[in-house]
Amino acid sequence: MVAVAVLLGGFALLLAWPIPVVLSRASWPARSPAIALALWQAIALGGGLSMIGCLLVFGASPAGSLLGAAEALLPHLFSGPIPREFGVIHLAALTLAAGLAVHLALNLALTVVRAERERRRQHQLIDLLSDPMPGQPKTRVLAHPVPLAYCVPGLRTATVLTDGLIDALDDAELRAVIAHERAHLDQLHHLVLLAFRAWHSALPWFPIANRAERSVVVLTEMLADDRARREASDDALRRAMLQVGSGGEPGAYADSGGVVPDVMMLEARLDRLGEPQQRPSPLTGTAVVWTAAVIVAVPIGALLATLGVFG
């Protein structure tokens, strides 16, 4: 049990710093944003499971298994006494594991509730202040001079443009912007960003949480760009991005309070344009998929082993 706890602790450290740092600095995610996004999700899930699992397994080690610890401790939580083999350090580890799990779950729930409340407010404002765009279903136009485009997800989705944006762009550029925003909605980027926003807000002191959220925002923007490139052209998208700038396209879920695109992200997106879209090689795709699977499988397998499923 202690060896498994050490394994999970070491794995959590790897997923908390060196692996995300290497991934955030790599160049290949810009060529394969979908695969990179899946890898980031695996890192976040595997890291969280490893952190909680490390504490849980160490705390349960005197009983030899998680089920054994539950059987030994639960009957004595209120009536006492706690079995002597469980020291203060073991009880502290179990308390931290439970507290961390509850903290992450509650923070995710709170983030979802806040986002849903803001989303409803946005839909109400859009209904009041905007008009439907002729020929473009689920697209609304706000009477505002600042060039701006964003999307509002949910069961009832909306793509919102301003008069200033429509006046500033030609037909091809406008088509690229609309395709970009609809890609965010169709690919459910707001759900991915919501999870990383919750992770970051739950652990604001955790340096890699901010790095992960920024990387995921860039990748979702690149995925939306790829849809726009297919429906319009690289030149049209580039012109639109230069016209609007980083402040005119606040991302798939800016109203969640998370990281929004900035100048550096805009430059990273512009650097991809002009080059043909390349599908990842089968070898690269397979390697990344297997890596993501291993990252999630290691903590799950370790926890199942200590539970006694394989024993």
Residue in 166, 190, 191 with CA at minimum distance from that of residue 177: 166
Number of H helices, E strands in the chain: 12, 4
CA 248 to chain centre: 22
pLDDT of residue 203: 87
pLDDT of residue 274: 78
Q: Write out pLDDT tens, residues 280-298.
A: 778 888 899 999 999 999 9
Task: Answer for the pair 235, 225: CB distance below 8 angstroms, yes or no.
Answer: no
Q: How confident is the model at residue 311 (pLDDT cuts 50, 70, 90)?
A: very low
Q: Write out pLDDT tens, residues 258-284.
A: 676 788 889 999 999 977 777 777 888
Instruction: Quickly count: other Cβ atoms within 10 Å of residue 163's Cβ.
Output: 15
Helices 207-231 and 33-60 sit at what angle, rounded to 10 degrees? Answer: 150
Q: Give the whole-angstrom CA distance, residue 301 versus residue 310.
A: 9
pLDDT of residue 79: 80
Exposure string of 191-214, with b = 16+ CB inside 10 Å and e = fewer, is: ebbbbbbbbbbbbeebebbbbbbb
Q: How confident is the model at residue 309 (pLDDT cuts 50, 70, 90)?
A: very low
* Three-state DSSP state, 90: helix
Query: Both ends of the chain: CA-CA distance in Å?
Result: 13
Residues facing residue 139 across a β-bridge: 159
pLDDT of residue 224: 95
One-letter identity of residue 225 = D
Task: Answer for the pair 276, 230: CB distance below 8 angstroms, yes or no.
Answer: no
**What's the burial of 66, exposed, middle or buried (CB within 10 Å: 0-12/13-18/19+)?**
buried
On the question of pLDDT at 150 being above 70, the answer is yes
Q: How confident is the model at residue 257 (pLDDT cuts 50, 70, 90)?
A: low
Q: Give the whole-angstrom CA distance, residue 202 versus residue 234.
A: 38
Task: Write out the H or E segment, with its range, that includes residue 131.
Answer: strand 130-132
Q: Give the whole-angstrom CA distance, residue 219 versus residue 213.
A: 10
